[in-house]
Chain A
Amino acid sequence: EVQLVESGGGLVQPGGSLRLSCAASGFMFTDYYMDWVRQAPGKGLEWIGRTRDKTNSYTTEYAASVKGRFTIARDDSKNSVYLQMNSLKSEDTAVYYCVRDKFSGWGQGTLVTVSS
């Protein structure tokens, strides 16, 4: 069974930084691309980025709304993917989901609140 467990969310001031982690289990992590998707309170789903696998040099893709501020990385030795968020804005307030390739498995989400 695919399990994805996010952690690291919380309250942060505008302009601050936060690092989210996602621990994966139940599947061969090294074989999969991994995505992050967010959902602002009461709003729809927004894809924010992807990391590919080792075969594809761990290359990344980002949505324009986070490019240059957010960085996705992975550590295959720990079956984990990370989302480093810098220069946070109030509009980044959302539940952040870790998602397996093809959106075939989702974590439970972690809430990030950007507020002074």
Chain B
Amino acid sequence: DIQMTQSPSAMSASVGDRVTITCRASQGISTYLAWFQQKPGKVPQRLIYTVSSLQSGVPSRFSGSGSGTEFTLTISSLQPEDLATYYCLQEKSYPRTFGQGTKVEIK
């Protein structure tokens, strides 16, 4: 199975800060990587697919990059509504596997 490891597990940042979350795959997954946002008490929503394609309706402050085994999700200017847990997911092989999540809090 492909293991997905996110870092950090939690973080706190101020409104307006640039936030970067990293996801590492235990083996190469090409561009089969997606990011999800789960706000407290809500259903997960896809933010980004195939590494860097932005889901329709997602603010442009979210972006994704990377290839192979290392990927990043960047929030260019953190907003209060970005309080959430973020998950990466590999879609290269079965079983599909998620990262353990990164909880983003607002200072």
A residues contacting B by CB (< 8 A) are 35, 37, 44-47, 50, 61-64, 97, 102-104, 106-109
Contact = CB atoms under 8 A, between A and B. Distances in A.
Contacts of A106: 43-45
Interface string B76-107: 00000000010101010011111111000000
Interface of B: 1, 34, 36, 38, 43-46, 49, 55, 85, 87, 89, 91, 94-101
A110 B65 CA distance: 33
B45 A45 contact: no
B52 to A, nearest CB: 15
Given A44-B101, A47-B89, 14 more contacts: A35-B96, A37-B44, A45-B44, A45-B89, A50-B96, A63-B95, A64-B1, A64-B95, A102-B34, A102-B46, A102-B91, A103-B36, A103-B89, A108-B43
A108 B98 CA distance: 19
A72 to B, nearest CB: 13
A104 B99 CA distance: 18
B97 A47 contact: yes
B42 to A, nearest CB: 9
Given A102-B49, A106-B43, A106-B45, A61 B94 contact: yes
